[in-house]
Structure formats: C-alpha cells, structure tokens
C-alpha cells in the first residue's frame, strides 16, 4: 500500500516523532522512506554567515538529520536523504506530487488555533495540496 513514503524532517523534536511513525509504516509495508529537509532562504543565509566553507555547511545540515537517520538505520529501513531549497510548504508539495509518493509523514509544530489562523502551518498546507495521504504527527 505505502511503498514510497516521504518524511519531511528538520531535526526538530517534532520531526523525530514523525520519523518514528514513518518507520512503523515502513516496517508494515516494506517501504522506502525518503527523508526531505527543506532549507528556506533565512536558514540558508544564516548557514552561510556562520560557516567557514561549503563543506562545513553541508556537514551541519546532515548533522541535523542524524537522529532521524540513526532511527532508520536501527530499524533497518531502506532510506534516502534529499536536501531541497525553498519555502517548506510549496517545496514539499511539489516534490511529493512530482515523485509519486504513496504517503507523506510530517510533524506538527503544535501551533494553537490563533497561531494557525494567522500564520498557517506547513503541515496543514501540505495536507491540503499534496496528491497522496498525509499523516500529521503531533
């Protein structure tokens, strides 16, 4: 059923919880998990300002996903890691729709109703626009 799962991750506590759920799905369906980390313009600028070279930037970005990667390795799940650039919600939606994923697993930041109304939430925007089932992990 879910042969190809997209896991949106950024190294946060929320993405670690969503990784655990993606692993459960992957174990049940013998799925491939593709971990996607989207770097927005603000993060990219900060990375460049605080790094000495490009290799250091790449290393720091991979370190953010190390916990998620270790969970996948421990569970013996086949996985790929993809780093994309852009605004998180449209970038995730576009990538998911263009690559025919069977499911997207994404963490929720836990915004309250007012914050969600004013700011919107990446997970809700992804759920509305992606062409496959979406699991939002609280």
Token digits of residue 51: 């790094």
β-strands 134-137, 103-107 pairing = parallel
pTM for this entry? 0.88
> Per-residue confidence of the chain (138 residues) as pLDDT tens digits?
899 999 999 988 888 999 999 999 999 999 999 999 998 877 777 766 777 777 887 888 889 999 999 999 999 999 999 999 999 999 999 999 999 999 999 998 754 554 444 445 888 899 999 999 999 998
């Amino acid at each position: 059923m879910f042969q190809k799962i997209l896991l949106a991750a950024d190294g946060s506590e929320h993405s670690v919880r969503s990784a655990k759920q993606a692993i459960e799905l992957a174990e049940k369906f013998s799925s491939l998990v593709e971990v996607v980390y989207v770097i927005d313009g603000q993060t990219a600028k900060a990375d460049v300002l605080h790094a000495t070279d490009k290799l250091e930037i790449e290393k720091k970005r991979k370190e953010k996903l190390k916990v998620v990667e270790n969970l996948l390795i421990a569970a013996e799940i086949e996985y790929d890691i993809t780093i994309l650039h852009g605004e998180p919600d449209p970038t995730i939606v576009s990538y998911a729709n263009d690559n025919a994923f069977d499911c997207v697993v994404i963490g929720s930041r836990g915004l309250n109703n007012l914050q969600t109304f004013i700011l919107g939430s990446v997970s809700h925007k992804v759920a509305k626009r992606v062409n496959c089932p979406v699991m939002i992990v609280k």
